[in-house]
Amino acid sequence: MVLSSSPPSGFRDFLPRNLELRQKVSQTISRIYRSFGFEPIETSALENLEVLTGKGGGENEKLIFKVLKRGEKLTEALAKSEELADLGLRFDLTLPLARFYAAHQNDLPKPFKAFHIAPVWRAERAQKGRYREFTQCDLDIIGSNSWACELEIISAILKVFEALKIEGMTVFLNDRSLVYQALEQAGIPEDKRASACILIDKLDKIPREKINQELSILAGEKASQAVQSLLMDNSENRYAEVSPSSYAHLKEISSSISRLNKNAHIEITPSLMRGFDYYTGPVFEFRHPKLSGSLGGGGRYDRLLEKFGVSSIAACGGSIGFERLILLLEELGHSDETPGPKFFIAVFSEEMLSQTLELSSKLRNLGQSVDLYPGAAKLKNQFKYADQKKARYALILGPDEAKQNQIRIKDLKTGIESLADFESLVKLPD
Amino acid sequence: MVLSSSPPSGFRDFLPRNLELRQKVSQTISRIYRSFGFEPIETSALENLEVLTGKGGGENEKLIFKVLKRGEKLTEALAKSEELADLGLRFDLTLPLARFYAAHQNDLPKPFKAFHIAPVWRAERAQKGRYREFTQCDLDIIGSNSWACELEIISAILKVFEALKIEGMTVFLNDRSLVYQALEQAGIPEDKRASACILIDKLDKIPREKINQELSILAGEKASQAVQSLLMDNSENRYAEVSPSSYAHLKEISSSISRLNKNAHIEITPSLMRGFDYYTGPVFEFRHPKLSGSLGGGGRYDRLLEKFGVSSIAACGGSIGFERLILLLEELGHSDETPGPKFFIAVFSEEMLSQTLELSSKLRNLGQSVDLYPGAAKLKNQFKYADQKKARYALILGPDEAKQNQIRIKDLKTGIESLADFESLVKLPD
């Protein structure tokens, strides 16, 4: 039986040329995060299932790829109709970070500024532009409740966009605690506020009348209208009435961002929720006019670590949506060409292979990058290969050249051929 | 309920200081592989289960982490007692590469020189030094049957060891096809040769008498003795009798490695098998006296792509065991200290936060790396933090300094404090 060579549905392979831009962008993000004093961490791709399902992930919990128990444990689980899985693939990097911090807090600086660039997995219905394996680029500060955290995280992300020459980003900013207070004042009882937030969060996707209708069903006509005028009309200044102190706080973040990041446009947006259950304070999101949906976001999640027994620790984090960033860069015509090897060495004939190997080895020992064609083949095919690999110079060592202690060299930019001795090869410009 | 904060058994977290050496080594491997003309690829972490179980992986197939089907498909599988999993985590990088090549061969150079540095997962019994998630660093040449392939792959791996300043490596070399011919000449029937190879492969782990005994049971006393004298006494020159041409071939690889890699020690070892079912020709392995077991290896696997419908394509690959390489480097006392940020900026007081943010932003806009303490705290704690982060200079902006347009600076190497203006900060050495 011949097997299908496609990756599983919703998964991707990356060819060398697909990786050029991805690797450049990933290195840029890592460099900028590091230059802001964030340090890299890594966690295991698999987590114990109860860590992933123990609240906090909201809708994403339904999308966990679960790993089947093995051996006797599986037999037992099947016999007793118990849970068949014991592990799961992480669906984000925030939950793993919370577990990581709880496990290692005594070995970490306080506060801890961490970043993590890694794949996550979600069993989403496969569709265009949505993948089941994708990269996230998180940065977090654990152990500080200062609004300087929000500022640092937003500034670092904006600096990444700047380094990638992306202009015209807008930061949308809100405060979940303000929303909760507003809902309270609108007369929505505590147990219905989370559901109301989920409704408001869908403003982008569902017609407004439908949301109003559902809000009325949830909390009554009067409360629904109060919520509408407060949150959905973007009447930011009404926030000042809800809680002058929280609003002043939010304004401070907003004005500092504007002041410190010359090219950033920032808007306070009362309807911004950022989905996840675990946010407790300010939330933010990055958007670009060329792309619908967000390029990243984050917020404060002061209570997420409680599930691991770490009480009253403040935490704030943000993330760049790597796949969407790549999409935007391609949209904007950015690309990155990794230079090919400096030398391509063709093999003139089977008889010349040994001497040709010697030549490549000598160049490599001097630190030169050398792509050797493995074995003799038609020279036409070898040169086609050199083009595909974007080599700078092609070298051929035929028996005549070897006798004269010379190497035939072809400049693959100009097409000019010449003879050279070994010493002059090394001096060639890249 | 408080959840455990440990990663699952057999899995690891990496703290920033654990990642310093790992990232340096991974970058070195990538740089050297690239300089030999190999190009990076990436494949999905999950594969369709039939790809992973469809032969080739040998013992490793038993160690697959299988992913549970989802939704209706799971319900149906349970009802019909069918396979409960549809996906699995890759257990090596060779099988994914074979699938990748079959899928994308028309878009790739011929021959294709690829490398892939990525995690793999195996459900091994957790024990010290053996992990269920670990990194492999593969490089492969697909589409050439020249022995230059083996040479290129072995040379690139040796160059990595050289770049990491590891001396005293030995390359062990053998040829599976020679072993098969030897077994044939010893009178072992074709259908028993694979089992005989598996036995010989265990020479490291099982007492020799036990292997002899099992060989006798498998193929008779006489065949067993013939195998012993041929393969297990390391009497390399008997190989010349088995197949003069194959032996000459192997000698050519061996002598070229010696000639081209000054510091490499190479040995032809007839008992070397390298476990995997899929090897068809030369196999090799790297060892170091400081570490039991291998640091990597590889071989020719000319038939692995057949399962994806790609017939008669030659392939050869090698791999560095990343975790074992890290272990050896630690054993040898190698380490890598990533420099911390150039500036640590302390926050003198809540009142000075805004001006302090301004200072950090100005430095960052000039490309300086700046770790800002997020929010005001006791200065003693802030300086402890600066030490942990290995910052080079600490800056403090108090109200008195601010009035004079000065910044207080502490050289964290010498402990010397001074006052400076902004312009002179930028000129400080790293």
Q: What are the phi and psi torsion angles at B15 (to 5°)?
A: -80, 160
Mean pLDDT of chain A: 91
Residues of B with CB below 8 A from A259's CB?
Answer: 358
> Is B106 an interface residue toward A (CB < 8 Å)?
no
Contact A121 B14 (CB under 8 A): no
Mean pLDDT of chain B: 91
Segment of A191-195, B209-213, B347-351 carrying the highest mean pLDDT: B347-351
Contact B68 A54 (CB under 8 A): no
Of the listed ranges A134-148, A210-224, B133-147, the one predicted with least confidence: A210-224
Contact A375 B148 (CB under 8 A): yes
Residue in the structure block whose two tokens are 């506020």: A193
According to the 3-state scheme, what is the secondary structure of chain B?
A: CCCCCCCCCCCCCECHHHHHHHHHHHHHHHHHHHHCCCEECECCCEEEHHHHHCCCCHHHHHHCCEEECCHHHHHHHHHCCCCCEEEEECCCCHHHHHHHHHHHHHHCCCCEEEEEEEEEECCCCCECCECCEEEEEEEEEECCCCCHHHHHHHHHHHHHHHHCCCCCCEEEEEEHHHHHHHHHHCCCCHHHHHHHHHHHHHHHCCCHHHHHHHHHHHHCHHHHHHHHHHHHCCCCCHHHHHCHHHHHHHHHHHHHHHHHCCCCEEEECCCCCCCCCCCCCEEEEEEECCEEEEEEEEEECCCHHHHHCCCCCCEEEEEEEHHHHHHHHHHCCCCCCCCCCCEEEECCCHHHHHHHHHHHHHHHHCCCCEEECCCCCCHHHHHHHHHHCCCCEEEECCHHHHHCCCEEEEECCCCCEEEECHHHHHCCCC
> Is B357 an interface residue toward A (CB < 8 Å)?
yes
> Is B388 an interface residue toward A (CB < 8 Å)?
yes
Q: Residue A59's pLDDT is what?
A: 67
Contact B46 A8 (CB under 8 A): yes
Q: How far apart are CA B317 and CA A104, in angstroms?
A: 38
- Residue-wise pLDDT for A299-340, tens only, equals 999 888 888 988 889 999 999 999 999 999 999 998 777 889
Of the listed ranges B215-224, B316-325, B373-382, the one predicted with least confidence: B215-224
Contact B412, B391 (CB under 8 A): yes
Distance of residue A87 Cα from the nearest chain B Cα, in angstroms: 8
A residues 252-311 closer than 8 Å to B (CB): 256, 259-261, 307-309
> Is B245 an interface residue toward A (CB < 8 Å)?
no
Contact B35 A308 (CB under 8 A): no
Contact B90, B121 (CB under 8 A): yes
- Residue-wise pLDDT for A380-405, tens only, equals 999 999 999 999 999 999 999 999 99
Is 80 exceeded by the pLDDT of residue A54? no
Q: Identify the CA nearest to B93 among candidates B140, B24, B33.
A: B140
- Residue-wise pLDDT for A158-175, tens only, equals 999 999 999 999 999 999
> Is B68 an interface residue toward A (CB < 8 Å)?
yes
> Is A381 an interface residue toward B (CB < 8 Å)?
yes
> Is A163 an interface residue toward B (CB < 8 Å)?
no
pTM, entire model: 0.93
Q: How far apart are CA B356 and CA A260, in angstroms?
A: 11
Residues of A with CB below 8 A from B4's CB?
Answer: 48, 51, 308
Sheet holding B407-411, edge to edge: B370-372, B343-346, B393-396, B407-411, B417-420
- Residue-wise pLDDT for B20-74, tens only, equals 999 999 999 999 999 999 999 999 999 999 999 865 555 667 799 999 999 999 9
Residue in the structure block whose two tokens are 């005549």: A400
Residues of B with CB below 8 A from A104's CB?
Answer: 13, 15
Residues of A with CB below 8 A from B41's CB?
Answer: 13-16, 19
> Is A48 an interface residue toward B (CB < 8 Å)?
yes
User: Quick one: tokens of B177?
Assistant: 């096809």
Q: Residue A130's pLDDT is what?
A: 84
Task: Return the residue of A nearest to B353 by Cα.
Answer: A148
All domains in chain B, ordered by first residue: 1-45+90-166+289-338 (3.30.930.10), 169-277 (no CATH), 343-426 (3.40.50.800)
Residues of A with CB below 8 A from B148's CB?
Answer: 347, 353, 357, 372, 374-375
Q: How many residues does chain B have?
A: 430
> Is A37 an interface residue toward B (CB < 8 Å)?
yes
- Residue-wise pLDDT for B364-381, tens only, equals 999 999 999 998 999 999
> Is A111 an interface residue toward B (CB < 8 Å)?
yes
Read off the pLDDT band of B233 (50, 70, 90): confident
> Is A213 an interface residue toward B (CB < 8 Å)?
no
Percent of chain A surpassing pLDDT 90: 68
The mean pLDDT of A26-41, rounded to a whole number, is: 97
Task: Return the residue of B nearest to A115 by Cα.
Answer: B16
Contact A11 B155 (CB under 8 A): no
User: Quick one: tokens of A257?
Assistant: 């961002």
Identify the H or E element spanning A420.
Answer: strand A417-420
- Residue-wise pLDDT for A102-153, tens only, equals 999 999 999 999 999 999 999 988 777 789 999 999 999 999 999 999 999 9
Size of interface A-B (CB pairs under 8 A): 278
Residue type, B136: Q
Closest by Cβ to B374, choosing from A11, A111, A261:
A111
- Residue-wise pLDDT for B278-287, tens only, equals 888 999 999 9
What pairing do the DSSP bridges indicate for beta strands B343-346 and B170-175?
unpaired
Residues of B with CB below 8 A from A308's CB?
Answer: 2-5
Residues of B with CB below 8 A from A109's CB?
Answer: 385, 388-389
- Complex ipTM value: 0.92
> Is B59 an interface residue toward A (CB < 8 Å)?
no
